[in-house]
Amino acid sequence: MTIRCAIGLMSGTSMDGIDLAVLSTDGDEVVRRGPSMFVPYEAAFRRRIEEGLEEAKAIRVRDERPGGLAALERDITIRHAEAVARFRPSLKDFRPELIGFHGQTILHRPQAGLTVQLGDGPLLAGSTGLPVVYDMRAADMAAGGQGAPLVPAYHAALARSLPADFAGRWPIAFVNIGGISNVTFVDRDADPVAFDSGPGNALIDQWVAREGGVPFDADGAIASEGGVIRRVVDAYLANPFFDRPGPKSLDRGDFALDLAEGLELADGARTLAAVSAAAIVKSAERQAGFPKLWIVCGGGRKNPHILADLREGAAARGSTVVLAEDAGFDGDAMEAEAWAYLAVRSLAGLPLTFPTTTGCPAPVCGGVLARPAPTS
């Protein structure tokens, strides 16, 4: 198959900015991983996105853009184009041929077959001069899938490229702790099994913003002053979501702060970190074999309390938790790399989703290709 160089762009449920990464791949094996970059959203723009989440509740058809959403979509796309312009000088001997564009999710209702990512593929293609593969979730949902998660195809490729110290420790679990956490279980040559596992950083961010006036709990500093309130953890884990088998996916608003009401700032931050870790461990209980190795990526891996609780829960079942960096990967860039990988898979006509990852009845290739207008 043809090896292509692609830039991946990811703006996740944490809504803090744009992750960029570049890689070369044939859509099956990862040939070479390259530089990455993070471009933060300014605070005022992040507030605009949060306001957009409320406006998005009125959407009933995917292409509806009520209120200020059309303007927000354009501004999100322009910021992605500007981020690509800043990123390209660092690529050195990488020569990108296309872009994988996730956009910003503002609504995800899998039960209604509805998912909305703000991002104008043709505008981005015209602004960057590169073909853009975008809207990668829609085909899966049209086929009856949940539309998420999409990263598992990339996780499976990474599992095949683990260094000798980690290779062969099947089953392997990749854990991405973003605003929402998702888990991919990879076992030798089988299709990956994946689903959203529960709240990641979103509840913690919302809690410290509301109670402490800061956007996130940097390095778990606030939580370090508090303790775990077990009854609150148990109340969150009693949510019927955790008893549903996968595939399953979450919207950012599916879990709220109501169960943490009345806690002190630090106790709330520490307790919600415990919820994030416990939800991840609980996600493995329905699998045929508990993972022998957990590889953790995403911003939540920088919260020492989530990581410590996850390690404790995994160790009790005889398994090991390592950071993505310990396995030779980049835990900040993995999702952006995945969108580059998926863009190449899309061009090659390879499936992005599987019955075991989204519940689609058969493997589905997705994505829409936008090409820049030809120059005269």
List pLDDT tens digits, range 23-49.
999 999 999 999 999 999 999 999 999
CB atoms within 10 A of CB 314: 23
Dist. CA 142–CA 3, nearest whole Å: 29
Which pLDDT value is given to residue 125? 98
List pLDDT tens digits, range 192-245.
999 889 999 999 999 999 999 999 999 999 999 999 999 999 999 999 999 888
In the predicted model, is pLDDT for residue 1 greater than 80? no
> Cα-flanking dihedrals φ and ψ of residue 135, to 5°?
50, 50
373, 139 Cβ separation under 8 angstroms: no
In the predicted model, is pLDDT for residue 327 greater than 90? yes
What are the DSSP E strand ranges found in the chain? 4-11, 17-25, 30-40, 98-109, 114-118, 132-134, 172-177, 180-186, 193-199, 293-297, 320-323, 368-370
Domains, the chain: 4-147+333-370 (3.30.420.40), 164-327 (3.30.420.40)
Dist. CA 209–CA 212, nearest whole Å: 5
Q: Is 167 exposed, middle or buried (0-12, 13-18, 19+ CB in 10 A)?
A: middle
What is the Rg, in whole angstroms, of the alpha carbon atoms belonging to the chain? 20
List pLDDT tens digits, range 74-117.
999 999 999 999 999 999 899 999 999 999 999 999 888 899 99
Dist. CA 142–CA 221, nearest whole Å: 43
Mean pLDDT of 340-368: 96
Which pLDDT value is given to residue 22? 98
Decide: pTM greater than 0.75: yes
Of the chain, the percentage scoring pLDDT greater than 90 comes to: 84
> Cα-flanking dihedrals φ and ψ of residue 108, to 5°?
-145, 105
Average pLDDT, the chain: 94
Which pLDDT value is given to residue 144? 94
Q: Residue 376: pLDDT band by 50, 70, 90 thresholds?
A: low
Dist. CA 152–CA 142, nearest whole Å: 19
In the predicted model, is pLDDT for residue 189 greater than 80? no
Tell me the torsion sign for CA atoms 42, 48, 51, 56: negative
For 292, left (φ over 0), alpha (ψ -120 to 50), or beta?
Answer: alpha
Q: Residue 249: pLDDT band by 50, 70, 90 thresholds?
A: confident
Mean pLDDT of 324-344: 95
